[in-house]
Structure 1
Amino acid sequence: APSASHPLGCDPLGRDILARLGAGVRLSVLVASIVVVATACIGTAVGIAAGWFGGWWEMLLMRVVDVVLAFPGLLLAIALAAAFGAGVDKLVVALVCVGWTGFARLARVQVRSLKTQAFVQAELALGAGLWRTARTALMPNIAAPLLVEASFAFAGAIVGEAGLSFLGVGAQPPTPSLGVMIREGASYMLSAPMLGVWPGVVLAGLVLASNLAGDALRDRLDVRTQR
């Protein structure tokens, strides 16, 4: 039962629920941050290469993207996590394997429209290679949509971490993951429903906050909304 020392009460093992929620949020944010950084780097590199070189190289890379997108993301992540084995590190690898495609498609479209622009051609005329051109001309101009994509990918990674942990192929007890807490609380839904409700509310709040931040960032960076 809630008390002054345990505002949200304790679980059947005597562990403070509020403290475990805080640890679960920290784990979710850490996992989501690692996943977003990794997927953004991989996807952006693939997208820039596809959009810049075109031809068979673009076709090959985009076919790989299409193959990954042909499977539902969460189901593919579950299959990969089950193949890799349970654990937070395996969970991160599984989420990275399925999460980079959005960045790749977005970067490809942006680069295809930018590579014919005068300022990019000027860089090439001065002898700049792909790496320098990408760093000085391409990335500053595609960073805004990629940041918006990253904010929504962050919410997706949080849901993915919680979902895989709930199914038993992510974080394992006693690791205080929100997904693990929801799974443990489901066993006490009739006698102590708040054991599962609190982590569910916190998870929904995290995802909502991330999506709202993404919407605000998109409105802020979209010139069409500033006219």
Structure 2
Amino acid sequence: MYQYSIGLAVFDFVPIVLSGIGLYFVSITATLWGARWQQLARLGAILILCGGISKASWKLIVATFQIDISWMNSALFFCLAPGMLILAATIWGASNNKGQTARHITLIVPGLLVIAALAITVSWPEKRYGTFYLLALTTLGNVALALQLIIKSWNAKRLSASVMFFCNILAVFTMAGLARLPDQSEALQWIEELINTASQGAFAYAAYTLYSAIKASSPETADHDIATK
């Protein structure tokens, strides 16, 4: 049985809240670039949040009742992988004014990849091939999303946002390395939680900063400013 303190499990929801704030601003920024991408942006953000909430809830149940609901733990990457891929593709499609075909591909391809993960998991139930596969897809989507946001922030002359997005992705890889350590003591888990919280705080700040820049430069804002003069 996994060992978590209740305090650690409860604190796990803090970075999720910060991540939710960041994902909100990323999704509405995508909508500013292309309104037709709104639903996909929301879907990607919701899937990512659902994965985090499921894992945090599983951890709290384990800490409180010593009950392991395995599907809640497994749902993390089954939600994160398609969520990250959809959101990364949405940022690309919306900011480059791609059409309906690109939107269909953005929805269909991650769905097929998750179906493949389910098939791998069912075919080799004693192995972790499905988890490793989904982890690779999540990493791919996360890096693709982060690189685009860093570049978009740089182009919008928001250096602080670029730096914070970079710090966020750097922290993700740092936590992945720490998670592989064999001795997952309470102290190490708290370090991981604090790094994650700082990382998601940086993500939320950067996402809001980028949104503010894109909003200020959008045609609707410019028209409103002219009308009020």
Query: Normalised by the shorter chain, which TM-score bucket?
Result: 0.3 to 0.5
* TM-score between both structures, scaled by the size of structure 2: 0.32
* TM-score between both structures, scaled by the size of structure 1: 0.32
Higher-helix-fraction structure: 2
Larger radius of gyration between Structure 1 and Structure 2:
1
